[in-house]
Amino acid sequence: MSKRRRHLFRQALIQATLIILSVFFMLPLVWMVVTALKPIDETMTSPPVWFPSKLLWHNFTEAFAYNSKDLGYIPFLVYGKNTLFVTILAVIGSVVSNSLVAYSFARIRWRGRELLFGITLATMMVPGPVLMVPMYALFRDFGWIGTFRPLWVPTFFGSAFNIFLLRQFLRTIPMELSEAATLDGASEWRTFIDVIVPLARPALVVIAVFTFLWAWNDFMGPLLYLTDQQTFTLSMGLQFFQSQHTGTPWNLLMAASLIVVAPVIIVFFFAQKTFIQGIATTGMKG
């Protein structure tokens, strides 16, 4: 009985903490939603207006209204399609390449491994801006400026962050599992596919989610390498609301931001379930 009560008390405590914290974490989203529905002269006021005098749902259509004659802000379908294209390729490339490379770094002993891994880590420590000029020159020499290729081709060759992350995860899997598979006559490839990949599913999902987010929100890449309005991505579109002389339509900017953020939130909502079932599917370990 007392154990049951202790359990209930614990549950209540956890729920209370979660709810209080949620208020703080929800803040940006709530604020964006409210702002997106306001008339312009009620945005960004102090003290804040939490309940708009009227709800302007047409802010959403206005933010994305676009035709060649009367230019709106963002041609959502075109930019959405471009963003999706780059993002899907990047996610596929990233999951495939990084799992292979991390497997090599974490679970195969070979000469030069530690050196290469050290170099891999070190590449992250050079600040990005000093690499921008030579990167640009490189992609220009490839003839890739103005195409999506600088944005997704490199993801098929691994990235230091993801390699490091996956390596840390793969190293927590007991070595005996691989040895057992080898004794059973499995090749390195079969061990990787049949033993390691299923066990590493939570981590692979993390990689997929991060890559999705990164590619979806990437601003610098498209900014530097795309040269045609028809190939722009949504994150670039969000910059279209800031202006030099004519003021920023905060309500439309927030409406557009919400639409851009929504798919990401949905993807995350479904992906996080994989984190829960980690143990269930990998019960064979330990």
Partner 1 sequence: MNARHNQRMGILFAMPWILGFTVFLAYPLISSFYYSFTNFSILSSPRWIGGSNYSELMGDQVFHQSLKNTLLFAAASVPLATVFAILLALLLNSKTKGMAFYRTIFYIPSLVPMVALGVLWLWVFNGQYGLLNEGLRHIGLPPPPWLTEPAWAKWTLVIISVWGTGNAMVIYLAGLQDVPQSLYEAADIDGAKAWGKTRHVTIPMISPVILFNVIMGIIGSLQTFALPYVMFPGGQPARSTYFFSMYLYDTAFQYQRMGYASAMGWVMFAITLSLTLLALKLSSKHVHYEGG
Partner 2 sequence: MVAGVGKGLTSVCIVAAGLVALIGSERAASRQTNADRVVVTYWEKWTGDEMKAMKQVVDSFNASQNRIEIKYLSISGIAEKTLLATSGGNPPDLAGLWSDQVVQFADAKALFPLDDMAHEAGLGEKDYISSYWKEMTYHGHLYAFPTSPGTSALYVNKSLMPPEFDSPEKFPKTLSGFERFIAKVSKRAPDGSLQCAAFLPRDGFGSGSWPYMFGASFVDANGPSVNSADNLKAWSWVHSFALRFGVRETQAFRSGFGNYSSPQNPFLSGKLASMMDGPWFGNYIRLYNPKIDWFAVPLPYPDGRPDLEGYTVLNLNTLMIPKGAKHPKEAFEFIKYVQRQDVMERLCTSQYCNTPLAKVSEGFLRNHPNKFIRLFDRLARSPRAVGPVKLGIWSQISQEVGNAVDVMDLGQATPQAALDHAESRLAEQWANYRKQVLNQ
Distance between CA 71 and CA 284 in Å, rounded? 58
Asked if 73 is part of the footprint of partner 2 (rule: CB under 8 A), the reply reads: yes
Alpha helices (H) along the chain: 2-36, 58-64, 76-107, 113-123, 129-141, 149-152, 160-170, 175-183, 188-190, 197-199, 201-217, 220-225, 234-238, 250-281
Query: Is the bond preceding 47 in cis, omega lying within 30 degrees of 0?
Result: yes
- What is the rounded radius of gyration, in angstroms, for the C-alpha atoms of the chain? 24
CB 238 within 8 A of CB 256: yes
In the list 93, 150, 158, 221, the residue contacting partner 2 (rule: CB under 8 A) is 93
Asked if 11 is part of the footprint of partner 2 (rule: CB under 8 A), the reply reads: no
Nearest distance, CB of residue 65 and partner 1, angstroms: 20
Asked if 160 is part of the footprint of partner 2 (rule: CB under 8 A), the reply reads: no
């020159």: which residue's tokens?
A: 137
Residues of this chain, 124-143, that bind partner 2 according to CB under 8 A: 132-133, 136-137, 140
Asked if 67 is part of the footprint of partner 2 (rule: CB under 8 A), the reply reads: no
In the list 230, 269, 270, 286, the residue contacting partner 2 (rule: CB under 8 A) is 230
Number of residues that bind partner 2 (CB under 8 A): 53
Nearest distance, CB of residue 229 and partner 2, angstroms: 6
Query: 83 touches which of partner 1, partner 2, none (CB within 5 to 8 A by kind)?
Result: none
Q: What angle do CA 117, 122, 124 make, to 5 degrees?
A: 110
Query: In the complex, which residues of this chain contact partner 2 (CB under 8 A)?
Result: 40-46, 70-71, 73, 88-89, 92-93, 95-96, 132-133, 136-137, 140, 145-149, 193-195, 197-198, 201, 223-224, 227-231, 236, 239-250, 281
